[in-house]
Amino acid sequence: MMETKISGCVEFALQGENFLLLPQRGMFWPARKTLLVADVHLGKAAAFRAHSIAVPAGTTEKDLQTLSEMIMKCGAENLIFLGDLVHNKRGLTDRVCALILAWRERHDSVHMTLVRGNHDKKVSNITNSMRLDIVEEAHILGPFALKHHPKPEKAHYVLCGHTHPAVRLSGRGQKGLRLPCFSFGDKVGILPAFGSFTGCAEIEPEENEKIFVIADDEVIAVE
C-alpha cells in the first residue's frame, strides 16, 4: 500500500487500484494524481437566499477553500467533479461567480473535468468559463466508469455521487448519529456529497457493502 501522509484519511484498494478516502469528502487516486469529489453544489445557499430563505452565507468560500486544501495536501494534478458542481442559475450571483473564477485561477495548473450531473445540465455559463473538460457519463478512466448517477455498468466499476449517502450509527439505548459516508458495493461506489450545504440521505447498507463514515475530521471503516 501507499504511504499515508494526510491526517484522518483511510487507504482503500478497489479494482486493483489504491485510493485515499479523505475526511474532507474527497477520494484521491495517487497513481493518477487525481482527486475525485461529488455534489459540490456551488451557489446553493445563494439560491436559497434568492428565494428569501434565510440561510448562512460563506459556504461557497468555505467549500472552495477546502478544495484548495485537498489539492495542495494530495499534490493533485487532476480534479474530477462527479456531477452537480453547481446548484442552479439563481445561485450563480455575480459574487459567487467571481469567487469561483478567482479560485480557478489560483489552480491554473490543475486539469479539471466535470462529469455532467442533472443540476449541471441547467447551467452552462459558469462551467464553460471555468475551463473544464465537460463530459457525459460514463467517463471511462482505467477500470472505472465515472458517473453522476449510481447505475451499474457492464464492463467497469462505477464511481459516482448523486445520492448524498449517510448511515446512522447507534449504541445500546441510544438514538444514534447520522454521518456522511463513502459506500462501496459490488459494482458501484458512491462518494459523500462534498458541499457543506447539501444535506444527506440515510441509506441501509447491503450485505458485503463497505462503508466508511466521516466523523470528527476522520474517515472510519464501519465493521
Where exactly are the structural domains of the chain? 10-222
Output the CA torsion sign for 133, 22, 190, 96: negative
Using DSSP bridges, classify how beta strands 27-29 and 17-21 pair: parallel, antiparallel or unpaired: antiparallel
pLDDT on residue 212: 96
Question: According to DSSP H, which parts of 123-221 are helical?
Answer: 125-129
pLDDT on residue 50: 45
pLDDT on residue 47: 47
Low-confidence spans in the chain with pLDDT less than 50:
1, 3-4, 45-55
Using DSSP bridges, classify how beta strands 78-81 and 111-115 pair: parallel, antiparallel or unpaired: parallel
Query: Which phi-psi region, left, alpha or beta, contains residue 22 (left: φ > 0; alpha: ψ -120 to 50)?
Result: beta
pLDDT on residue 87: 54
Residue from 58, 50, 163 nearest 117 by CA: 163
Centre a 10 Å sphere on the Cβ of residue 18 and count the other Cβ atoms it contains. 14
pLDDT on residue 26: 95
Residue from 204, 203, 189, 119 nearest 150 by CA: 189
pLDDT on residue 48: 40
Residue from 171, 121, 117 nearest 148 by CA: 117
- Tell me the CATH class for 10-222: alpha beta
Give the integer Cα–Cα distance in Å for 3 and 72. 17
